[in-house]
Amino acid sequence: MEKTCQSNVEVQVGSQQTWPQRMLYYWPKMYAHQLMQGDEYKKLNPAICVVFLGFSLDKREGYMRRVVAWDEYPCKFRRREKEWGV
């Protein structure tokens, strides 16, 4: 079975300090809408969100942040990359 990747690209210009909570609300829906009752979880495709914010969420300097929602053990992640073909 070929895996495809779902993606969401969002631009948020105005300051919205509740953005992390909003993303945690909408991002899982990208997964939830992929399966019907009784489907196997292995049918799930990766879901990636890319967000451009016109404001900073914290006091750290820098232009880019990478936020992941899994345990980032390199060996496990690399196996999944190969499995998904990404």
DSSP output for 51-82: EEESS-SSS---S-----SS---HHHHHHHHH
* Whole-number percent of the chain with pLDDT over 70: 73
Contact 25, 69 (CB under 8 A): no
Q: What is the pLDDT of residues 39-72, one digit of tens each?
A: 998 888 888 888 888 888 777 777 777 776 665 5
Q: What is the pLDDT of residue 77?
A: 47
**Contact (Cβ atoms closer than 8 angstroms) between residue 41 and residue 35:** yes
Q: What is the pTM of this model?
A: 0.59
Q: Give the dihedral sign, CA 18/21/23/26.
A: negative
Give the pLDDT of residue 74: 53
Q: Kind of pairing, strands 6-12 and 47-53?
A: parallel
Model pLDDT for residues 49-58, shown as the tens digit of each residue: 888 888 887 7
